[in-house]
Chains A and B, each alone.
Chain A
Amino acid sequence: MAGEGEKKAVLEMVQADGADEGCVTFVLHDEDHTLGNSLRYMIMKNADVEFCGYTITHPSESKINFRIQTRGGIPAAEPLRRGLNELSDVCQHVLNTFQGLFPSQDSRGVLWRS
Chain B
Amino acid sequence: KDCSFYWRKPNTPRPLGKMAASMKNVEEIRNRVILGEFGVTNVHTTDFPGNYPGYDDTWNVEKFQKNFRIDVVHLDENSMEFDMVGIDAAIANAFRRILLAEVPTMAIEKVFIYSNTSIVQDEVLAHRLGLIPIKADPRLFEYRNTEEEGSEIDTIQLQLKIKCSRNPRASKDSSDPRELYLNHMVYSKDIKWVPIGNQADVFADCCIGPVHDDILIAQLRPGQELDIVMHCVKGIGKDHAKFSPVATASYRLLPEITLLEVVEGEKAERLKQCFSRGVIDLEDINGTKVAKVVNSRLDTCSREVLRHSDLKNVVKLGRVRDHFIFTVESTGILPPDVLVTEAIKVLMAKCQRFLNELDSTIME
**A residues bordering B, Cβ < 8 Å?**
1-3, 5, 10-11, 13, 28, 31-35, 37-42, 44-47, 50-55, 67, 77, 80-81, 84-95, 97-99, 101-102, 105, 108-113
A-B contact count (CB 8 A): 147
Is the pair A86, B354 in contact by a Cβ cutoff of 8 Å? no
Considering the chains assembled together, what is the distance between the CA atoms of A61 and B355 in angstroms?
Answer: 22
Is the pair A41, B355 in contact by a Cβ cutoff of 8 Å? no
Does B216 have its Cβ within 8 Å of any Cβ on chain A? no
Cβ contacts A to B, 13 pairs, < 8 Å: A5-B147, A34-B93, A34-B98, A35-B347, A41-B90, A53-B4, A81-B355, A81-B358, A94-B70, A101-B72, A102-B337, A105-B337, A113-B335
Q: Which residue of B lies closest to A1 (CB)?
A: B236
A35-B347, A51-B1, A105-B337 are known contacts. Are A10 and B353 too (CB-CB below 8 A)? yes
Considering the chains assembled together, what is the distance between the CA atoms of A86 and B5 in angstroms?
Answer: 21
Beyond A87-B347, A98-B341, A110-B137, 5 extra complex contacts between A and B, CB < 8 Å: A3-B146, A37-B94, A55-B5, A80-B358, A91-B347
- Across-interface contacts of A46 in B (CB, < 8 A): 49, 58-59
Partner-contacting stretch, out of B60-68, B180-188, B281-289: B60-68
Considering the chains assembled together, what is the distance between the CA atoms of A34 and B218 in angstroms?
Answer: 38
B106-139 CB mask vs A (1 if < 8 Å, else 0) is 0000000000000000000000000000000101
**B59 touches which one: A51, A86, A111 (CB < 8 A)?**
A86
**A90 touches which one: B64, B206, B239 (CB < 8 A)?**
B64
Chain B: residues with Cβ within 8 Å of the partner, total of 63
Q: Which residue of B lies closest to A67 (CB)?
A: B5
- Across-interface contacts of A113 in B (CB, < 8 A): 77, 335
**B residues bordering A, Cβ < 8 Å?**
1-6, 45, 48-50, 57-59, 61, 64-65, 68-70, 72, 77, 84, 87-88, 90-91, 93-94, 97-98, 102, 137, 139-140, 143-147, 206, 234-236, 239, 335, 337-338, 340-341, 344-345, 347-348, 350-355, 357-358, 361-362
Shortest beta-carbon distance from B360 to chain A in Å? 9
Q: Which residue of A lies closest to B353 (CB)?
A: A10
A40-B90, A45-B48 are known contacts. Are A84 and B147 too (CB-CB below 8 A)? no
Considering the chains assembled together, what is the distance between the CA atoms of A95 and B355 in angstroms?
Answer: 19
Q: Which residue of A lies closest to B347 (CB)?
A: A91
